[in-house]
A = this chain, B = another copy of it.
Amino acid sequence: MDFRKRDNVSVDCVIFGLNDLGLNVLLRKRTLNMFDENYPVIDDWMITGGRVFISKTLEESANVIFEGITGYNEFNRTQFRTYGNPTRLKSDKDLLWVRSHGVKTQSMTIAYYFAQPIESIIVDEDQFKWFSIDALPELGFDHSKIIKDAHEDLKQKIMVEPIIFDLMPNKFTLNELQFAFESVLEIELDNRNFRKKVLKKIYIVPLNETKKGTAKKPSKLYVFSRDVYDKVSEKDFIVNV
């Protein structure tokens, strides 16, 4: 096995997770203490990246990073953009951090995002933390921009591909599905109209099973059938904003 890496190209992974509070991004702490243990020179957040393996595809390199963080080996991965501005790193903090980690400046990075329900992921809570997409902390490098681009791409793809189901647990209720769309798209949908549309889609299959989750009336569960979806030739997806 060849573990060599390219010294000038990295992949960055934006990790999206959905829970009942909405859409979240998993970030890694970026700290640097130089003089005083209690007053870090750098104390903010970043997405996780790493150099690409010479002998692997970009997708495999991204998977390695994702699995390293999450322990999860189901890869709902989308490549959305490559950043290659040689002056991407501008701020003193960024340069300082990069130098202190003994890496060459990574001027080029292929960016991916991963989408899954938060519940399926366990992370090292000393280093990583989930942040709501609409309350991101201060971010290093150009990672604000990268996350924004990822979210835009997700919004757009969600309208035409069934990636919303990547964010859902296997069995879900229609209200959960609606909430997923609302969280990603940052809009509100009419519940009755949403149901009408969804129930027409034969690839959303009702189960003879209910979710007696929190309380009150149990709700019917559904699964997404990729088989059926693939057979429905027409481009036929749920939401039209």
Q: How far is the CA of A8 from the CA of B58 in the complex (A)?
A: 14
In the assembled complex, which residues on chain B have CB atoms less than 8 Å from the CB atom of A110? 82, 84
Inter-chain CA distance A66–B215, complex, in Å, is: 62
Q: Is the beta-carbon distance between B85 and A82 smaller than 8 angstroms? A: no
Contact among B6, B81, B82, B85 with A8 in the assembled complex (CB-CB below 8 Å)? B6
B58 touches A108 (CB 8 A): yes
Inter-chain CA distance A160–B241, complex, in Å, is 13
Protomer copies: 2
Within the assembled complex, what's the spacing in Å between the Cα atoms of A110 and B9? Answer: 12
- Tell which of A16-24, A26-34, A48-56, A188-196 binds the partner: A48-56
Q: A213: CB under 8 A from chain B?
A: no
Considering only residues 133-188 of chain A, those with a C-beta below 8 Å from chain B are 156, 160
Task: Report how far A90 CA is from B108 CA in the complex, Å.
Answer: 25
Q: Chain B: which residue is nearest A86 at the CB level? A: B55
- Report how far A48 CA is from B83 CA in the complex, Å: 21
How far, in angstroms, from A8 to B55 measured CA to CA in the complex?
13
Given A6-B8, A9-B9, A9-B108, A58 and B84 contact (CB-CB distance below 8 Å)? yes
Which among A56, A84, A86 has the greatest number of chain B C-beta atoms within 10 A?
A84
Would you list 22 pairs from A and B whose C-beta atoms are within 8 A, ordered by A residue? A6-B8, A8-B8, A8-B9, A9-B9, A9-B108, A52-B84, A54-B86, A55-B86, A56-B86, A57-B84, A57-B85, A58-B82, A58-B83, A58-B84, A58-B108, A59-B84, A61-B84, A79-B81, A79-B82, A82-B82, A82-B110, A84-B110
Identify the A interface with B (CB < 8 A).
6, 8-9, 52, 54-59, 61, 79, 81-86, 108, 110, 156, 160
Q: Give me the 10 closest cross-chain CB pairs, A-B, nearest first.
A: A58-B84, A82-B82, A57-B85, A82-B110, A55-B86, A57-B84, A6-B8, A9-B9, A79-B82, A9-B108
